[in-house]
Structure 1
Amino acid sequence: MIKKPLILITNDDGINAPGIRTLISIMKPLGDIIVVAPDSPQSGMGHAITLDATLYAEEHKFNHATHREYSCSGTPADCVKLAIRQLADRKPDLCVSGINHGSNSSINVIYSGTMSAAIEAGIEGIPAIGFSLLNYKWNADFGACKEYVKIITENVLTHGLPDGVVLNVNIPDIQKHEIKGVKICRQARANWVEEFDKRINPQGKDYYWLTGKFVNLDEGDDTDEWALANNYVSVVPVQFDLTAHHYIDNLKRWNFKV
């Protein structure tokens, strides 16, 4: 008997978020699933892990589901670590994270809890995908992206991914018939120009509220930002090796003698 792949499902918006409920429904026909997700929203947590607090995991039964679901008191990366080391019966064959409420294209991948969960799985040698829809609303319509999430997942299950590579998938917030297809892209050179709005609370103490705008500095037509602006699903292979390999030889020519 051929064993179905075990698919670990997680996110950063919390176990009750509509995005992860949609992702669960897409994954059910593709394999056995286990869900381990934060018990509350963890957006923007990046790759934070819990070191100085107790971690809790509570099992849930949603609509009499036959698969196992756990809410975790920690971060998205904690969820993946706990799933692999404690909660799953065997090592997952795939990890899918999302579907995130909002973009994780370009520089957002650095801050994303969604992508950090996928990257944590990649560190453990598990093929992983982070899915995001460009709609921040809690009641976002995920209907248009279902078939793209399914076919990208099926391709990863069929072809696998190289060690150290994780897929970052972003889906434009448009109707299904408006999506032109899938583009394999590079990460755009874009960033947030941030400001801090200084305010005073009723007790007279200063506090700061982060504001800013997103600026795309990249004019290339091979980037995730271009793809999304032109109604394509963007797929970017990312890696967690942050070494600037192209600069190693330059550094070797520096004088480090003391």
Structure 2
Amino acid sequence: MKNKKPLILVTNDDGISAPGIRTLIAVMETIGEVIVVAPDKPQSAMGHAITINNTIYLDKISKENDTITEYSCSGTPVDCVKLAVNEILKRKPDLCVSGINHGSNSSINVIYSGTMSAAVEAGIEGIPAIGFSLLDYNWNADFEPAKTFVKKIVLETLEKKLPQGVILNVNFPKLKEKEIKGIKICRQAKALWVEKFDKRQTPFGKDYYWLSGEFVNQDKGDDTDEWALENGYIAVVPVQFDLTAHHAIQQLNTWNLNE
């Protein structure tokens, strides 16, 4: 039916009780039928990890008379999407949205992000998907300014459709709604983490390590997600799960590998 509400799968990596996902659920409820499958605890920086050596528990936490069906999962964000598609949903959802993440997933952070990996997994399953993040790591971050833009991006995605194999990585600057200058389609900035390990010792003399680091943007371009965020824009980067370096194939074919 043409007027049938879209089925929307909502997930994240900060856990099902995180304020970011509660905001995203509230916005999605105004658009379609919502099913939530999210981790029962924070799973940040899990990347595309899946659970293969442990059991996974899935608990329905919503009541029959609730307007939204919600499940809490003991696994990773990717596990949540896999379970939703294979065990919970009766049909493939029209859209998967992940987030809203507490903290940036711009530039190289997309590689480590559990938020984006959940969206990518949905994309692998043939489901249009978007990952949303806010540049504020505070648990009590203000997600209100993002609401209008989240709805606009979701509605455009549902109407216009994404290219096959493409997922959107959306990052919001930490600004009031009236301070946001607009939305920019960007490329991923070339940046990296300069990391170090803080080596410590337990009272029993056993060494342990604590990872820390500094984010370094090496990209001076004005068409990147980092530039957009620094200049008051929402950054939208189309990403793909085909990791083939297509531009390198011709060069590699000149190597003498079969002689």
Q: TM-score, normalised by structure 2?
A: 0.97
- Unaligned segments of structure 1, at least 5 residues: none
Letter in 1 for 2:116: M
CA deviation map 1:182-212 (0-9, x unaligned)? 0000000001000001111111111111111
Letter in 2 for 1:23: L
User: Quick one: distance in 1 between partners of 2:30 and 2:23?
Assistant: 13
Partner of 1:128 in structure 2?
A: 129
User: Quick one: distance in 1 between partners of 2:48 and 2:144?
Assistant: 29
Partner of 2:42 in structure 1?
A: 41
The structure-2 alpha-carbon separation of the partners of 1:221 and 1:62, relative to structure 1 and needing over 3 Å to count, comes to farther
Partner of 1:27 in structure 2?
A: 28
User: Quick one: distance in 1 between partners of 2:94 and 2:174?
Assistant: 29
- Which of 25-34 and 55-64 deviates more? 55-64
- Which of 127-136 and 59-68 deviates more? 59-68
User: Quick one: distance in 1 between partners of 2:217 and 2:242?
Assistant: 24
User: Quick one: distance in 2 between partners of 1:131 and 1:36?
Assistant: 16
Partner of 2:216 in structure 1?
A: 215
Report how far residue 251 of structure 1 moved.
0.2
- Which of 197-206 and 99-108 deviates more? 197-206
Letter in 2 for 1:90: R
Letter in 1 for 2:12: N
For 1:128-207, list aligned pairs within 5 A: 128-207=129-208
In the alignment, does 2:82 pair up with 1:81?
Answer: yes
In the alignment, does 2:74 pair up with 1:59?
Answer: no
In the alignment, does 2:236 pair up with 1:235?
Answer: yes
User: Quick one: distance in 2 between partners of 1:233 and 1:122?
Assistant: 22
User: Quick one: distance in 2 between partners of 1:204 and 1:63?
Assistant: 53
User: Quick one: distance in 2 between partners of 1:12 and 1:160?
Assistant: 25
User: Quick one: distance in 2 between partners of 1:106 and 1:257?
Assistant: 38
- Which of 174-183 and 63-72 deviates more? 63-72
Letter in 1 for 2:173: P
Partner of 2:95 in structure 1?
A: 94
CA deviation map 1:77-107 (0-9, x unaligned)? 0000100111112110100000000000000
SS at match of 1:226: helix
Q: TM-score, normalised by structure 1?
A: 0.98
- Which of 13-22 and 55-64 deviates more? 55-64
Report how far residue 65 of structure 1 moved.
2.5
Report how far residue 62 of structure 1 moved.
7.4
% identical aligned pairs? 69
The structure-2 alpha-carbon separation of the partners of 1:213 and 1:155, relative to structure 1 and needing over 3 Å to count, comes to same
